[in-house]
A and B are shown apart, each in its own frame.
Chain A
Amino acid sequence: MKPKVAIFDLTDCEGCEVQIVNSKFIDRVLGGVEFVHFRLGQRVNRWEEFDVAFIEGAVITSHELELVKKIREHSKIVVALGSCACFGGIAAISNFMDIKEAKRYVYGENADKIETLYIKPLPEIIKVDFMIRGCPIVPEDFERVVSDLFAGRIPREHTRPVCMDCKSKGNPCQLLKNVPCAGPVTYGGCGAPCPSAGMPCDGCRGPLEEPQMSAELELLKKIASKDDIVRLFRKYAPMAPLFKDVGGEKL
């Protein structure tokens, strides 16, 4: 029997689903699983027990809040797909703003008719079994987690910072060029695409386990303004543990 898989998207850019389609794995996925619920990919979708449900996107509407609870009830394993699901994603920047004013700026006098919840990471709403991080995810992480799950293995966590990926690519260090970079505290395994393209890491995968956060902040204070440090961590994973605390008195 093929594993029964569901893929759900909440409010987001759907780029992580595009990364799934971009995976070299896509042939094997299409041939090897049964999609019982996959709105983006098929017309007929069913609510039955899912062996694995992937949830992409942020919970912004009350519809989505109810939906994720329903998905949890139907799923043996729930995987949070991408940093919107794992950490609230880019839209959660508005958690740190005056939300009324933020809505008024976009919708004017109709602002009150638009519902936007305080954006919580998915693991704060339902039990999440695994997280595939990143904005966007890298296809290799998806391939690894899927192969592990379907082989009955527990997917392993990356334990090294982005710096290790960056070093292995032979990139010049951004911090040594006095460019604020989140690499030392960010969950690695992405292959460091940003420093490899000449830009700093902006922490899209959230923190690795037990990062040297205070050392990183001390270092950044020497080369960047307080506002720029806050901007660095309040970007693609603004509600991630530790990242969400950057700002205020701690700087």
Chain B
Amino acid sequence: MIYDEFVTQIEGHGRIYFDIKDGKVVEARLEIHEGSRLFESFLRGRRADEVPQMSSRICGVCPVPHNMAAIQALENAMGIEASEQTKMLRRFMISSQMVQDHALHLYVLAAADYLGVTGISEVYAKFPDAVKRCVRIRTVGNRGIELVGGRAVHPINSIPGGFAKLPTREDMEKIAKDFKAILNDCIETFRLFASLKCPDFERPTEYLAIDDGKHFPAYAGRLVTNRGLKVEAKEYRNHIKEVFKPYSNTKFCVMNGHGFHVGAIARVNLFKNRLNPTAKELLRESPVKFPSDNPLHNNLAQALEIVHYAEEAIKIAEELAVKLKDEERPKPTKAGTGVGVAEAPRGTLIHEYTVDKNGIVKDANLIIPTGMNTTNIEEDLYALLSANINKPKEQLKRLAEMLFRAYDPCLSCATH
């Protein structure tokens, strides 16, 4: 059979199904029909050094966090302690990815919802300056990933222990300048999205992100929520459960039996005090205040993060421009199981691997941001549709899809 059209302008293939009877929402489902690639199965039997590159293939839109979470998990499994410099370069790669990917989602996928147009060609025809700004931002974000990781889509040389090849101090100096040159474009992006009308809606929920004790979430840390959860990443199984739904190839995640939200809005809600200065300044002038319980404000949080992560990239690049040095890559010291966490544009990402004494992966488990958001999306759909129950069905469908899109879902990732 061929399904009707899937939801447009999102990564991957899914539909929203809802049923209304006697003025009440009786069913609201997120159906995910992405094919199952079975990553966890075929990563078993691979050499640990191949896995970070292969894992990045889970997602061509956000390959860096997959690469990073895999590396960190493998390092924990094999007893490798990465250097401070390596961790800085990894945070730099994630920052570059955030800048690049948020710009893609906001301008190419989400903008049409807010600007009242049908898609990218129309955005280009009517708002050419916005598209050019998007291209400028993405070009530098891509360059940042490429400089350290070897390639923008599917990094090559980031491996357990460090990097197969390091950039030079001159490279870092140059990329810092490149990021500075787009900072104004990033600010303009925030101002644009702050000026756009967003549907009113509110539903309090639990927000989750990672906390390394120091930075705005990016690379490694404990799992924390606004409702008091604070646990080591390796304990994730005690808190996050996966549930099978007959209408979805993606497993749904729940925490204590309910949905929870990961992503830009969760990071900003939890850690707005750790934002870089310009982002903080913009937040003060923002018409929307955070913490926010409107899931559609995720888009504005993304726009704010573009500014924050661009500043972060500048900060790291400037520091490494004077102190980057060649380092010996630490070697594995043991076999075992390890968990790695990173923030993907779409939220907290968890990889877990068991490596045997020959360096072969024996077990793999991946918990993906959009998988974590699935239950929360359904809970939001119920609430949003119920609050707008008197609107015509076609309008409800558009509204439901707009909500779904605001999560920046990636169903390719979620199903993997």
- The reply to whether B41 and A42 form a contact with Cβ atoms under 8 Å apart is no
* A228 at the B interface (CB under 8 A): yes
- Interface segment out of the listed A33-41, A143-151, A213-221: A33-41
- Interface hit among A11-19, A125-133, A156-164, A243-251: A11-19
A61 touching B35, Cβ below 8 Å: yes
- Chain A minimum-CB-distance residue to B135: A26
B-contact 0/1 string along A156-200, CB 8 Å cutoff: 000000000000000000000000000000000000011011110
Quote the shortest CB–CB distance from A200 to chain B (angstroms): 10
B9 touches A42 (CB 8 A): yes
Residues of A93-148 whose CB lies within 8 A of B:
93-94, 97, 101-103, 105-108, 110, 113-116, 135-136
Does B42 contact A102, Cβ atoms closer than 8 Å? yes
Give the distance in Å from the alpha carbon of A196 to the alpha carbon of B46 in the complex.
23
- With the chains together, A39 CA to B131 CA distance in Å? 19
Q: How far is the CA of A116 from the CA of B38 in the complex (A)?
A: 9
Of B147-155, B193-201, B252-260, B368-376, the one with at least 4 CB within 8 A of chain A: B147-155
Among B57-65, B74-82, B207-215, B378-386, the stretch that binds chain A is B57-65
Known: A35-B121, A40-B8. A12 touches B152 (CB 8 A): no
Q: Please give, as numbers and ranges, the residues of chain A lying within 8 Å of B36 by CB-CB distance.
A: 11, 60, 103, 106-107, 114, 116
B8 contacts A39, CB within 8 Å? yes
Q: Are A199 and B138 in contact (CB under 8 A)?
A: no
Query: How close is A226's CB to chain B, nearest CB, in angstroms?
Result: 13
Choose among A31, A43, A110, A115 the residue that contacts B119 (Cβ–Cβ < 8 A).
Answer: A43
Do A42 and B246 have beta carbons less than 8 Å apart? no
Which residue in chain B gives the minimum CB-CB distance to A19?
B153
Q: Which of A11, A105, A115, A199 contacts B37 (CB 8 A)?
A: A11
In the bound complex, what is the Cα–Cα distance between A66 and B33 (angstroms)?
Answer: 14
Q: Assess the A14–B12 pair: CB atoms within 8 A.
A: yes
Which B-chain residue is minimally distant from A204 (CB atoms)? B154
Interfacial chain B residues near A17, Cβ < 8 Å: 60
| Residue B412, interface by CB 8 Å | yes
A45's contact among B5, B34, B38, B50, by CB below 8 Å, is which? B5
Interface centre among B38, B59, B244, B249, by most chain A C-beta atoms within 10 angstroms, is B38
CB distance from B149 to the nearest CB of A (A): 8
Complexed CA–CA distance, A97 and B41 (Å)? 9
Question: Quick one: which of A97, A107, A113 has the most chain B CB within 10 A?
Answer: A107
Contact between chains at A102 and B5 (CB < 8 Å):
no
Q: Is A231 an interface residue (CB 8 A)?
A: yes
**Is there a chain B Cβ closer than 8 Å to A78's Cβ?**
no
Alpha-carbon gap, A186 to B8, bound state (A) = 36
* In the complex with contacts A14-B412, A116-B35, A193-B156, A198-B164 CB distance below 8 A: yes
Cα–Cα distance between A108 and B365 once the two chains are bound (Å):
13
Contact of B112 among A12, A43, A90, A114 (CB under 8 A): A43
Known A-B contacts A22-B142, A41-B121; the reply to A135 vs B46 at CB < 8 A is no
Residues of chain B contacted by A194 (CB below 8 angstroms):
150, 156
Q: Which residues of A are found within 8 Å of B154, using beta-carbon distances?
A: 15, 135-136
- B44 nearest in chain A by CB position: A105
Enumerate B39-53 residues with CB–CB distance to A below 8 Å.
40-42, 44, 46-47, 50, 53
Please name the 6 residue pairs, one residue from A and one from B, whose CB atoms are nearest each other, closest first. Answer: A15-B60, A42-B119, A197-B150, A60-B35, A11-B35, A198-B164
- Name 14 interchain pairs, CB-CB below 8 A, sorted by A: A15-B57, A21-B138, A41-B119, A41-B120, A41-B121, A42-B122, A60-B35, A61-B35, A105-B38, A108-B244, A135-B154, A198-B165, A199-B156, A199-B159
Instruction: Known pairs A15-B61, A18-B153, A45-B8; list 13 more (Cβ under 8 Å).
Output: A11-B34, A11-B37, A12-B412, A39-B8, A43-B118, A91-B37, A97-B41, A102-B38, A105-B38, A105-B40, A107-B251, A199-B150, A199-B164
The interface of chain A, by Cβ under 8 A from chain B, is: 9-19, 21-22, 26-27, 30-31, 34-35, 38-45, 58, 60-64, 66-67, 70, 89-91, 93-94, 97, 101-103, 105-108, 110, 113-116, 135-136, 193-194, 196-199, 202, 228, 231, 235-236
